[in-house]
Amino acid sequence: MTTSSVSANGFNKFLHSIRIPPVYYFLLVIFIGGAALDFYFADGQILTNRAILTNIFVRSVALGIVAVGQTFVLIGASIDLSVAYTISMTAVMSSFIMQGDPTKVPTAIFVVFIIGAVIGLVNGLIITKLGVNSFIATLGTALILKGILNATFANFTGSVPRSYETFGYGRIGPIPISIFVLLGVVLLGWFILARTKFGSQLYGVGGNSEVARLSGLRTHRVLIGAHVICSLTAVLTGLFIVSRLRAGAPWIGPDGVYDLESVATTVIGGTALSGGKGGVWGTLGGVLIFGVIDTLFNQLGVNPFLKNVLRGVIIILAVASYTLRSKREAA
């Protein structure tokens, strides 16, 4: 074998190994189509204005972080509908503990991550040990969190110190810090899924839990781990949102529809609801699609009610493009 053929081989292998998720072609089409529409019907800012381009990402940060966590859960053939209230819980608890005092920031962050881990643990335990379907289990914990939150904090509570707002509004050079955080979470998510034993085991558990069990995996532990990770990403989303809103209120999670939208973007990104398949890069693509259409609708001045109609259509069509050729019956 000559060196040149080795390197060519290596390059092909590389191309093969990165496997660009198909959602990015969809994203590209939407982006180009959107830019063209924007160019003809509005002021063409999407392509020319860097601030609007970065804002597409900033819009995607909150949903993106939690969608990474949702990807873990969906790969494990589970689902987490409690993320919206986990986000609320985080936002409320962190601003309640901080009370505008910069010295309390570490305590607050520590406490909310612990709470997040406990929520994930409870979800995981109910699903694995009590054998409750994940849809109902996490819907149930969502309702419990909702009740506790609304009964305890009826309002904006406390506030975050100015310094903490850097997370939401700060920039490194021209690029908002939050974008780095999102990319960091995606990279970490990718690393865990693709490069660690845990990730590999999660694919196993989601793909076929019986095979995973027979291969000697502790399937319950793996699934619980995925749920804990998902709740932790929800916590991070909550911390990000509270830094932008200055204070936390119980409704910010459900108002953002983070539960269903994180599932929708993850599925659009190519992760199957049935598990064992997908990855965080696809999810990022799905989230960016939502960011692009949001920006596009604003640029074009689309009627807000029509936006929801179009969102619904896009969710269904995007997923249909994957499932159309599948032989299995859907339910």
Partner 1 sequence: MTEEQNKTTVLRKTQPEPLLEVRNITKRFPGVLALDDVSLKFMQGEVHAVVGENGAGKSTLMKIMAGAYIADSGEILLQGKKVSFSHPQEAHEQGVSIIYQEFNLLPERTVAQNIYLGREPSKFGVIDIRALNKKALTVLKELGADEMISPTALCNTLSVAEQQIVEIAKAISFDSKVLIMDEPTAALTLVEVRILNALVSRLKTRGMALIFISHRLVEVFDIADKITVLKDGQLVGTELAKDVNAEKIVHMMVGRILDHYFPPLGKKEDFGEVVLRVNNCSNHFLKNINLELRKGEVLGIAGLQGSGRTELAQALFGVMPFKTGTMEINGKTRTVKAPSTAIKYSMGFMTEDRKAEGLLPKQPIRDNMLLTVRSMQSILGNIFNDGIRKSRKMVPTLAKQVDVRTDNYDREVQFLSGGNQQKVALSKWLASNADIFIFDEPTRGIDVEAKASIHDLIRGLTKKGIAVLMISSELPEIIGMSDRILVMWDGSIAGELPAKSTESDVMLLATGHETNNHSNKNDEAGKE
Partner 2 sequence: MTTTTMAKSSRAVKVLNTIWTWIKKIPPVYPIFILIFLTVGFLNPNYQTANGIFVFLRRASPLAILAIGQMFVLSSGGFDLSMGSLVTFVIVGSSMLLNNDPEKAMITIVIMLGVGVIVGLINGVTVSFLKVPSLIVTLGMLLLVKGVAMFWSGGAPRGYFTDNFRIFGRGNIENVPIFGKFPIALLIMIVIALLSYYLFHKSNFGKQILAIGDNVRASQLSGVRVRVIRVLAFVYSALLAVVAAILLGGYGGISTNVGDGLEMQAVSAAVVGGTLLLGGKGSVPSVVFGAFTLEALFNLLNLLGLPKPYKDAVQGLIIIGAVAYVALSTRKKR
Partner 3 sequence: MKKSMLLVVSVIVVFAMLLAACKPAAPTAAPVEPEAPVATEAPVVPDAPKNQGLQMDAAKVAPQFYNDADFDESLQLMKQAPLNPDAPIYMQYLINDPVDTTQYKKAPPYNICFSNAGVNNPWRVVGYTTMREQVEELRAAGLIKNFIHVDAQGQDAKQIADIEDLIATPGKCDLLIVSPNTSEALTPAVEKACEKLPVVVFDRGVLTDCPVVFEKTIGGYAFGISGAQFIVDNLPEGGNVLAFRILPGVDVLEQRWGAAKRIFEEAGNINVVGVEFDDYNTVKTNTIVRDYIDRFGHIDGIWMDAGGPAVGALEAYQDLGLPFPVMVGEDQNDYLKFWKENNLTAIAPTFPTFQWRSAVLIAVKILQGETVQHRWVLPQPDVTQENLDKYYNAAMPPLYYALSGAEDMKNWPDAWINVDTTKYVDVLP
Residues that bind partner 3 (CB under 8 A): 41-43, 45, 49, 51-52, 55, 58-59, 62, 93, 96-97, 115, 118-119, 121-122, 125-126, 129-130, 144, 148, 150-157, 159, 165, 169, 241, 244-247, 249, 251-252, 255-256, 294-295, 298-299, 301, 303-308
Rounded distance, CA 199 to CA 207, Å?
12
Q: Give the Cα separation of 76 and 70 in Å (integer).
A: 10
> At closest approach, how far in Å is the CB of 78 from partner 2?
13
279 DSSP 8-state letter: -
Span interacting with partner 1, options 114-122, 200-208, 280-288, 296-304, rule CB under 8 A: 200-208
**Count of CA atoms in the C-beta half-sphere (13 A) of 149:** 28
200 binds partner 1 (CB under 8 A): yes
Least separation in angstroms between residue 268's CB and partner 2 is 9
Cα 32 from Cα 162, distance rounded (Å): 38
Closest C-alpha to 206, from 18, 68, 72: 72
DSSP state of 153: -
**Segment near partner 1 (CB under 8 A), from 1-9, 61-69, 150-158, 203-211?**
203-211
- Residue in the structure block whose two tokens are 């392509």: 47
105 close to 305: Cβ distance less than 8 angstroms: no
d(CA 241, CA 93): 13
Residue 7 or 150: the one with the smaller Cβ distance to partner 1 is 7
Of 54-62, 115-123, 175-183, 199-207: span binding partner 1 (CB under 8 A):
199-207
| 59 versus 146: smaller Cβ distance to partner 2 | 146
Pick from 77, 89, 137, 226 the residue near partner 2 by CB under 8 A: 137
Residue 12: CB atoms within 10 A of its CB come to 10
Choose the contact partner of 264 out of partner 2, partner 1, partner 3, none; CB within 5 to 8 A by kind.
Answer: partner 2
Q: Which of 208, 246, 300, 311 is close enough to bind partner 1 by CB under 8 A? A: 208
Our finding on whether 22 is near partner 2 (CB under 8 A) is: no
Cα separation, 106 vs 170, in Å, equals 18
Count of beta carbons in the 10 Å neighbourhood of residue 25:
11
In whole angstroms, what is the distance from residue 155 CA to residue 90 CA? 14
CB nearer to partner 1: pick between 141 and 271: 271
Could you give the CA distance from residue 328 to residue 331 in angstroms, rounded to a whole number? 10
Which of the 8 DSSP states describes residue 172?
Answer: E
**What amino acid occupies position 226?**
A
Q: Please state the φ and ψ torsions of residue 42, each to the nearest 5 degrees.
A: -130, -150
168 token code pair = 């939401």
Examine residue 263 and tell whether it contacts partner 2 (CB under 8 A).
yes
User: In the bound complex, what is the minimum distance in angstroms from residue 39's beta carbon to partner 2?
Assistant: 26
Q: Which of partner 3, partner 1, partner 2, none does residue 142 bind to, with CB < 5 to 8 Å depending on kind? A: partner 2
Task: Identify which range of 18-26, 31-39, 146-154, 223-231 contacts partner 2 by CB under 8 A.
Answer: 146-154
Asked if 40 interacts with partner 2 (CB under 8 A), we say no
- Give me the least distance between CB of 219 and partner 2, in Å please: 15
Residue 100, amino acid: G
Q: Decide whether 79 or 242 has the Cβ nearer to partner 2.
A: 79
Residues that bind partner 1 (CB under 8 A): 13, 16-17, 195-198, 200-201, 203-204, 207-208, 210-218, 276-277
